[in-house]
């Protein structure tokens, strides 16, 4: 991955009212016409809600808990990012076109923006939702280190944009609500990051059942261990440290920063009150 020809800190571009990273928006036609396969497994989250964690869990389940097989390549190669596009790098849609089945596909798209072929093929999907404030804090640090985003400004400035749905992928609330409502009609396993933290063994067992994989208790324990935050943070095939600094600068903030719940960043009283008015009833 080279990432040549990148414009530093480009402004977001909208697709049908949805703010997206500039390069992703410019490749939208290819994303929209993407053809899913019946045996595809889609992973969807709002950004910074445990996407890499659930991706690693799914890949290890597919490989029967063999960590060495899951270290065959970086997670963004094993689980391609559907809408990913930056100059000089293979697009997510191009990666997926060349990938043999079964494919595991990552997206951050709101439910109404998902290519129609996923619904037509009745693909299995896993969605992970995370507490809105923890997402905001993590997303702010990610904006700082991932240079395909605009400059986030101060925490206060970023939080205002986040609450207004003016960050990449738009409103957190609309995202989690849209996927929640869709699950009654399609094969969607809806998980919560907080549940995964509280009892990873129980939640991974749910994923195994959803994937129709019966791997036994010993393998389950191994997957729990090898997908822990400590192990993944040290695993170069899972922690994105092979991405060039022109795309992600780990010296600003590591991709895998913290796994604590209820992260706290100083916020004015007025903004904190508005935050809880918008999101507080959900968590």
**Cα 142 to Cα 179: distance, rounded to the nearest angstrom:** 23
Q: What DSSP character marks residue 129?
A: E
Q: Which two tokens stand for residue 193?
A: 């990051």
List alpha helices for 7-149, DSSP H. Answer: 22-26, 28-32, 51-62, 67-70, 75-78, 92-97, 116-120, 132-145
Q: For residue range 140-173, what is the model confidence (pLDDT) as tens digits?
A: 998 998 889 999 999 999 999 999 999 999 999 9
The per-residue pLDDT for 279 is: 54
- What φ, ψ does residue 222 adopt, rounded to 5°? -65, -40
Domains and CATH numbers, the chain: 15-279 (3.40.50.300)
Q: What is the pLDDT of residues 178-189, one digit of tens each?
A: 999 999 999 999
pLDDT of residue 281: 42
Spans of the chain below 70 pLDDT = 1-5, 235-283
**How high is the pLDDT of residue 231?**
83
CA separation, residue 210 to residues 106, 124, 148, 150, 188 (Å): 17, 8, 34, 38, 9
Rounded-to-integer distance, Cα 125 and Cα 40, Å: 9
So what's the pLDDT on residue 240?
Answer: 52
CA gap 110, 98 in Å, rounded: 25
Count the neighbouring beta carbons within 10 Å of the beta carbon of residue 122.
Answer: 11
How confident is the model at residue 2, as a pLDDT?
Answer: 52
276 in catalytic set: no
């Amino acid at each position: 991955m080279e990432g040549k020809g990148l414009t530093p800190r480009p402004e977001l571009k909208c697709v049908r009212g949805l703010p997206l990273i500039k390069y992703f928006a410019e490749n939208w036609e290819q994303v929209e016409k993407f053809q899913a396969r019946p045996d595809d497994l889609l992973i969807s989250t709002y950004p910074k809600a445990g996407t890499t964690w659930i991706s690693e869990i799914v890949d290890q389940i597919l490989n029967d808990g063999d960590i060495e097989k899951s270290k065959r390549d970086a997670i963004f190669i094993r689980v391609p990012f559907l809408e990913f596009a930056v100059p000089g790098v293979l697009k997510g849609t191009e990666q997926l076109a060349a990938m043999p089945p079964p494919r595991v596909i990552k997206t951050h798209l709101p439910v109404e923006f998902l290519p129609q072929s996923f619904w037509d093929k009745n693909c299995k999907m896993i969605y992970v939702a995370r507490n809105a404030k923890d997402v905001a804090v993590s997303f702010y640090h990610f904006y700082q280190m991932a240079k395909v985003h605009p400059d986030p400004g101060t925490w206060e400035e970023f939080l205002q944009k986040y609450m207004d749905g003016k960050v990449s992928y738009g409103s957190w609330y609309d995202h989690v609500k849209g996927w929640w409502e869709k699950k009654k009609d399609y094969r969607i396993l809806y998980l919560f990051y907080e549940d995964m933290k509280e009892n990873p063994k129980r939640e991974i067992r749910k994923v195994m059942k959803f994937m129709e994989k019966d791997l036994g208790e010993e393998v389950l324990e191994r997957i729990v261990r090898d997908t822990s935050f400590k192990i993944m943070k040290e695993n170069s095939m899972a922690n994105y440290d092979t991405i060039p600094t022109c795309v992600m600068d780990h010296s600003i903030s590591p991709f895998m920063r913290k796994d604590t719940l209820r992260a706290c960043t100083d916020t004015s009283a007025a903004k904190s009150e508005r935050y809880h008015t918008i999101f507080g009833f959900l968590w």
